[in-house]
Amino acid sequence: MKIIKKVTIRYFRSIYTASINDCAELNVISGRNDCGKSNTLRALNLFFNQQTDWKRELSFYEDFSVQRLDSVRKESVKGKQFISVEIEFERPSTYSASLPETFSVTRTWYRDSAQYEERNNLDSSAVINKLPSKLATAKRALQAFLNRIQYEYVPAIKDRPYTLHLLARLQKNMLDLEGPQSASLTRIVKTMSDTMRKQVAELNSEFKSATGLSAGFKSPTEMSALFHAFNVVTDSNTDQPIALQARGDGIQARYLSSVLYALASQSRRFFIWGFEEPENSLEMGATEKLAKEFSTLYAKKSQIFLTTHSPAFISLEGAHVARFRTFQDDYRTQLVNLDGKGKNFEHMESLERELGMLQIQEKIHQIYAAQIAEFHDLQKIKEKIHAELRSSKLPLVLVEGKSDKLIIDTAWEKLYKKPMPFKVRVADPAGDGGTGGAGMLAKTIESVHPDDGRKCIAIFDQDHEGIKSFQGLSKNFTLLSAFNDCKVHKNKHSYVFLLPAPSYRSDYVDAQNHMIEYMFDDHALGTKHRGRGLTFSQGEAALLVNGKKIKITQSQQLQLGFELLQHRVIISGKDTFSETIVPKLEADAFAGFVPLFELIGNLLSLE
């Protein structure tokens, strides 16, 4: 959700003049300590709630910019001392008949005035015919629009008074949504308690998804307790629930974002969050999950401005995310949109440098996120393979990539006039071979253990990665003495082997460069379809002379009798070869696959 396009702040605390440009649904503000990050959120709190910090009203002499005060005192003509916040709004669709597409409102606090002064640009919009309605109608609509905005400022220190305040807000919101009008007092309390439980079901579900803890509300049982904030209890491994305030700081702080999301979801108001350091008291995994939920869930119901030092938030990207670097120039806070036009790479580097350990933390975060993603990918493969094993009576043969599967399927069809007694599948969560490979194949065969006695076989290429993954399998796999380069899992259902080579490819095996395409002879490998097919980079050789490496050209290689074809690398054309060329080859081109199918058959016949 987005209603704020731009914020301009003048003379507030460390901010002399600064703008938050091109705001998005989620706005991530970061920078070193004491650079003024929080002042942007507090300026918004001043605009909407007439408070600076939580429960603290403006104190002009404390909150007025000392830089501006110094400038005013030096001017020959004394300038007025004021603090102003100007917001440029984007019109919600519900106001399309009364307000212009964009409009601005400025609120100004003068030194000797108890109330702020407000002005807008509707008059100037009317002059240039930018209003979709009469000026009077637009002004009434503007006031109604501003009254519908609910700005929630969440301080960095989320102490018990703030938590109780927010829970009381949630209770009041639920009571306002639905409540009986005529019944006995006992029935009123019971009905309200039931209503609260229903209203909070979605909140509890989202909180459990985020933390793994179930939460429940202890509703009031007497009218005297009705208007006190209810107690929040969480589940435990005993019959007794644990009060939220007895949980750790991280769990308590994490619950607040769930409550804010519930408030926004249950209301017709426009919610804006000013959230200070949501990562406080959370470990890396929980922060990673929270950042994702801010981006994919919470920002749909509210426009969010947050401050942070966490790589989990700073690394968020997308059209709905804007990241800002906050820094001081001559003791004046400045903000730069890192995701604006042209991308501010220089400021991003400065931010990383200012935060010191951020670069290391971000690398750790990226590694952690990649490992989590790989774990989920592996779970997807495992579930897919188990589902296939359950639905089919055939054993599975797992391969590294899409071209391996296509070529093996075609080879069987060309060589044998009967159904294949096994199914070939790629160890790839995406299903298209794009994220497979020897590493994923190894992880997959380690985790898949058919529980009905059917066999699962993995085939590794005899290249560097395939051999490394084959040799790196866990101790659950041991060598089969009756077969070359073959291992069996201790469950006797899972097998792995290195792709066998035809006699004319033994030198490719020695070069650790044997893969499915080299099961064909050179004539087949050179076949083209409309000028397209496999392309290779030729192997290179060099001589070491007096400690210097001298490259040998291909013509020199021939003169010296070098033969380096076995070191050539396929650089393109695998899809064309496996999908278009291989199906058109004659059956005798597949003679090299006979030992492969014989090996698979022998393994499947083992007891």
**Entry pTM:** 0.54
Cα gap 573→202, rounded to integer Å:
51
Query: How many percent of the chain have pLDDT more than 70?
Result: 76
Going 263 to 265 to 268 to 269, the CA torsion angle's sign is positive
Say which residues have a Cβ less than 8 Å from residue 308's Cβ, sequence separation at least 6: 28, 29, 30, 277, 278, 279, 314
Q: Which residues pair with 224 in a beta bridge?
A: none
* pLDDT reported for residue 184: 46
Over residues 552-578, the mean pLDDT reads: 77
pLDDT band at 222 (very low <50, low <70, confident <90, very high): very low
pLDDT at 469 over 50: yes
Residue 457: strand, helix, or coil:
strand
pLDDT tens per residue, range 341-350: 656 677 777 7
**C-alpha angle 306-106-84 in degrees, rounded to nearest 5:** 70
Average pLDDT for the chain: 82
Query: Is the pLDDT confidence value at 262 over 70?
Result: yes
Quickly state the pLDDT bin for 258 (edges 50, 70, 90).
confident
pLDDT at 176 over 70: no
With 60 as the cut, is the pLDDT of residue 444 above it?
yes
Q: How many CA atoms does the CB half-sphere of 582 hold within 13 Å?
A: 28
What residue ranges do the domains of the chain occupy?
Answer: 2-155+266-354, 356-391, 393-533+572-603
- Asked if the model's pLDDT at residue 45 lies above 90, the reply is yes
Please list, in sequence order, all residues whose beta carbon lies within 8 angstroms of the beta carbon of residue 524, skipping any fewer than 6 positions away: 585, 589
Residue-wise pLDDT for 51-110, tens only, equals: 999 889 999 989 999 888 888 777 644 568 999 999 999 999 999 999 999 999 999 999
Distance, CA of 320 to CA of 95 (rounded, Å): 22
Q: Which CATH superfamily is domain 2-155+266-354 in?
A: P-loop containing nucleotide triphosphate hydrolases (3.40.50.300)
Question: Per-residue pLDDT for 185 more than 50?
Answer: no
Residue 479 has pLDDT above 90, yes or no: yes
